[in-house]
Amino acid sequence: MLDALKRITKNTKKLDENRFIKKALDNTQIQHDILELNRTDQLYNQGITADGKSLGGYSPFTIQYKVSEAGRLGRDTRIDHITLKDTGAFYDSFTFKNSADEFIIRADTVKDGEDLVEREGEILGLTEANKSEVAGWIKRDIIRQTLETITGR
């Protein structure tokens, strides 16, 4: 029993929260899920920017196009709000970058010569609610890493 406590004490000294956060964000599943929160939850399902502002609605002309032609062409047919998904190329361009003190969501925001960020606002990034969800994922991963470190497994 005493040897186990000594091992746990020694391993506890190895704990480094920043290293654990970075390691959690290096997890490809967490990266994928963060990108899905941005493109699927926020943009597609809710039609909102990172600061919670609505992307608005489509013009009557665009709605008519989406209803009559978009599906036939394999394009997005959602009409209740702007999704920025017409062909899917923008959504496919999303990438995740993990740096020492933050993560960055990147994408090719220039479409037909126009920058979507300039037109729509902060479309790359997470809402406060989604940041809280990610914080929960990171906390759970840190707990897992901490237990592995302390127990030496």
In a domain, 3, yes or no: no
CB atoms within 10 A of CB 94: 18
Res 11 pLDDT > 60: no
Q: What is the pTM of this model?
A: 0.82
In a domain, 117, yes or no: yes
Provide the domain count of the chain: 1
User: Under a CB-based contact definition with an 8 Å cutoff, are residues 42 and 49 in contact?
Assistant: yes
Q: Report the C-alpha gap between 115 and 71 in whole angstroms.
A: 25
What would the pLDDT profile of 63-105 be if each residue is shown by its tens digit?
999 999 998 999 999 999 999 999 999 999 999 998 767 899 9
In a domain, 33, yes or no: yes
